[in-house]
Amino acid sequence: MTTHVRHDHELLLESMLGGKLPRNLHWDEAIGLISQIGEVLPHDGDDFTFVVGNQRAHFKRPHHDEFEVEETSRLRKFLKEATLAGSPNEPHQAKRTIVVIDHHVAHIYQSVESAVADEKVVTPYDPFGFHHHLIHRKEAHYSGDRVPEENSYYEEIAKDMADSEEIILIGHAKGKSSAMDYLIDFLTTHHPDLLKQVKATEIADLSALTQAEIEVIAKKHLRD
């Protein structure tokens, strides 16, 4: 990397390599970063080749100039493969994520050597306080077996799982009453590549689940 990288590009690079995966990454930001640390080779139309070190990768300009989660994750992988993250001899450590989810809230943990840390909490968009008062379908006068889902809730969870190489999902039920199963359906439709990283699912009593018990589940499925 040159010594003349702009401060904003340097911060973006640090985030891409080791921090939280950037959201709403714009095409111009990516082009600016790659141009500073490597080359951007245009092809026909919206097709470009990014070159950093001895690594090359093809990227297509997004329709709305904003990267999808999978493309941001792919750009991170490309930058890491270009050995910008540090010593190439440093052992690779997979990003592991444990998601404990019901219809009210998702607790998202990063796992290192089967220990859980860096908890993030995601809740459904609920401007009228509906979820704080009632979730039962009959009393809410909804038809069917499950409260209508906010896809934005599951999209937010997907963003926090992006770039994970191993994912464990923990839920409280099966079938239509299970937010975990709904998340799996959502990933199947919207993020099939991310679904491939789901290594195991568990059913547990979430009301009594402790962090120590979450670590036991992680240790069972996330083998070093």
114 closest CA partner among 139, 131, 97, 90:
97
Tell me whether residue 118 is in a domain.
yes
Residues 26 and 121 in one domain: no
Q: How confident is the model at residue 138 (pLDDT cuts 50, 70, 90)?
A: very low
Co-location of 38 and 68 in the same domain: yes
Structure tokens at 49: 């080749």
Q: Is 133 exposed, middle or buried (0-12, 13-18, 19+ CB in 10 A)?
A: exposed
Amino acid at 63: H
Q: How many structural domains compose the chain?
A: 2
pLDDT over 70 at 99, yes or no: yes
189 and 215 co-located in one domain: yes
In a domain, 57, yes or no: yes
On whether residue 89 sits in a domain, the answer given is no
Asked whether residue 108 falls in the same domain as residue 57, the answer is no
> Quick one: average pLDDT of 105-125?
77
What is the percentage of the chain residues whose pLDDT exceeds 70? Answer: 76
Supply the range of the domain harboring residue 171: 96-221
Q: What is the pLDDT at residue 221?
A: 83
Report yes or no on 91 lying in a domain.
Answer: no
90 assigned to some structural domain: no
In a domain, 86, yes or no: no
pLDDT of res. 53:
82
Give the SS3 label for residue 40.
strand
User: What does the pLDDT look like over 3-34, one tens digit per residue?
Assistant: 456 778 888 888 888 777 787 899 999 999 99
Q: How far apart are CA 66 and CA 11, in angstroms?
A: 18
CA 184 to chain centre: 14
Q: Output the six-digit token pair for 27.
A: 């095409």
Task: Identify whether 100 is part of a domain.
Answer: yes
Q: Of 50, 81, 112, which one is at a domain's C-terminal end?
A: 81
In this structure, are 67 and 139 located in the same domain? no
Q: What is the length of the chain?
A: 224
Mean pLDDT value across residues 184-200: 92
Confirm whether 16 is domain-assigned. yes
Residue 80 has which token pair?
């890491």
Closest by CA to 146, choosing from 156, 154, 155, 135, is 135
Query: CB neighbours (10 Å) of residue 79?
Result: 23
pLDDT value of residue 110? 81
Q: Are 167 and 161 in contact (CB under 8 A)?
A: yes
pTM of the model: 0.54
**What is the Cα 48 distance to its own chain's centre?**
25
Q: Which residue, 81, 106, 125, sits at the end of a domain?
A: 81
Q: Is residue 146 over pLDDT 70?
A: no
